[in-house]
Amino acid sequence: MAIVSAAQIPTLTQLYKSNKLKPAPAGANPPSTAIGPQTIPAPSQALNGRVGLYRGDITKLGVDAIVNAANNSLLGGGGVDGAIHRAAGPSLLSECLMLDGCDTGSAKITSAYALPCKRVIHAVGPIYSRGQPESSEEKLGGAYKKSLELAAEYGCRSVAFSCLSTGIYGYPSKDAAAVALSAIRKFLEEDTEEKVKLVVIVTFVSKDVDAYDKALPLFFPPTPDASGTAPSAEKET
């Protein structure tokens, strides 16, 4: 399969314009998270142009950094982790062996070797705990935040995230999307210098596609000109 460049990935602005992403139904609010907005935030053309959505294999993306859903050992595994290590080749494991693992809720960065991206950020999301959802949320949000901080620190202007923890680690996709988008929105709002210009959500299976189609309009609503529909939230920024 051909390599997909950052410029080929549609932003939310483009997805709203082409009607591939629809505004949230009237009266809908974002699911409650510790750091996220409690009501739909004001639409922002600037932010909507800094978030992309792509369904497919993250190992084919020619972006600056891709974010792997790793485990504490950082020594590979199944799911997207296995796909990334296979595509990068054995040198990735050699570098990971020197990192001394990674805490849950954090991330570490390596080179990308045979992958078309420049760097791999290895984020460790939590194994979802039904008994302690707040702890799961804090760790998942931490993994997104640390990954974005590393991207900014290492000059990665485009960064693509796999849906951390929603596979083998069992995090419900709807809840995980709310945490991910809260963390991404907060980071982008604070990154006024635009060290990270584009954050891409990479979905793979239909449950994550559905979760993001529903969650994105709650966290990054369309501007009036994008959808032809007046948004319910405050004025545009």
Residues that bind ligand AR6 (CB under 6 A): 57-59, 69-71, 77-81, 83, 125, 162-169, 202, 204-205, 208
Q: How far is the CB of 44 from ligand AR6 (least distance, A)?
A: 27
Q: How far is the CB of 120 from ligand AR6 (least distance, A)?
A: 13
Closest by CA to 94, choosing from 66, 74, 72, is: 74
By C-beta, is 41 or 85 nearer to ligand AR6? 85
By C-beta, is 80 or 226 nearer to ligand AR6? 80
Tokens 């485990």 -> residue: 71
CA 93, chain centre distance (Å): 23
Q: How far is the CB of 237 from ligand AR6 (least distance, A)?
A: 31
Q: Cα torsion for 126, 129, 130, 136, to the nearest 10°?
A: -40
- CB 4, CB 61: distance < 8 Å: yes
By C-beta, is 125 or 222 nearer to ligand AR6? 125
- Count Cβ atoms below 10 Å from residue 37 Cβ, excluding itself: 18
Tell me whether residue 157 is exposed, middle or buried, using C-beta atoms within 10 angstroms of its C-beta: 0 to 12, 13 to 18, 19 or more: middle
Q: How far is the CB of 233 from ligand AR6 (least distance, A)?
A: 29
By C-beta, is 66 or 218 nearer to ligand AR6? 66
By C-beta, is 49 or 116 nearer to ligand AR6? 116
- Count Cβ atoms below 10 Å from residue 29 Cβ, excluding itself: 12
Q: How far is the CB of 98 from ligand AR6 (least distance, A)?
A: 18
d(CA 72, CA 147): 15
By C-beta, is 165 or 223 nearer to ligand AR6? 165
Q: How far is the CB of 147 from ligand AR6 (least distance, A)?
A: 13
Largest CA distance in the chain: 53
| 111 strand-pairing partners | 119
